[in-house]
Amino acid sequence: MILDKFSLKGKVAIVTGSNTGLGQGICKAYVEAGAKVVGVSRRPSDETAAICGKNFYNVIADLSSCDVIPKVIDETLKKFGKIDILVNNAGIIKRQDSIEFSEEDWDSVLNVNLKTVFFLTQAVAQQFLKQNSGGKIINIASMLSYQGGIRVPSYTASKSAIKGVTMTLANEWAKYGINVNGIAPGYMATNNTQNLRQDEERSADILARIPAGRWGTPEDLQGAAVFLASEASNYVNGFTLAVDGGWLGR
């Protein structure tokens, strides 16, 4: 039956940035689809754990450094014995006019949003090869993977790169049964967009361009996240799916 291909029963997923927002929503969707989930977060994901129950396990790790990657892999294997899915959701954003943007803010964003993403993905792919199992990797991109944005040069650079790296890794790893794809959320009501939503003029400008007429929610991303983690997407490689209420089509 076709619906069986969307099941994640028996799968083990790592989801970074699991304590709030989109990451929390993806963890919830995966548990509901039958997976066991390791949520990675800098602070305890207590609320996510309460929502997801016994099939959720939290690894506390600061993804601003690649040094934590072995811990994430080792704790996942110790708890659940394997890895089937990785969702690179954790990310940060710094806003400042480009003419004044600091090297510190540039490096901090690129470290979390790109460098650690690449090397965590590499480590998980190496585990897939050890398991001889294939696997699913989903990178959370952005509308700024397609557009320039305003006052967020390092974020735009990181998310444009994520879209490109997603294609590169898909080209190399599809032969191993590893699917690498991305999701580009539109303007979502999360912590990262709180300042934008509180700016009445900017928020109105954004809403005026969204055909759906509203900000997105973590629930809006859940279907795409389950699809790309499931057998239903076995022939989808290197594509970044926009979940944006129609923003890019405007």
Name the residues annotated as catalytic.
Answer: 155
Beta bridge partner(s), residue 180: 137
In contact, 83 and 14? CB cutoff 8 Å? yes
186: number of Cβ within 10 Å: 21
Phi first, then psi: what are they for 230, rounded to 5°? -105, 170
Rounded CA-CA distance 207/87 in Å is: 28
Rounded CA-CA distance 248/61 in Å is: 34
In sequence order, which ranges of the chain are alpha helices (DSSP H)? 21-32, 46-52, 69-80, 103-110, 116-131, 153-173, 194-198, 200-209, 218-229
In contact, 243 and 221? CB cutoff 8 Å? yes
Phi first, then psi: what are they for 149, rounded to 5°? 75, -175
Length of the chain: 250
Q: Which of 67, 55, 59, 57 is nearest to 42 (CA)?
A: 59
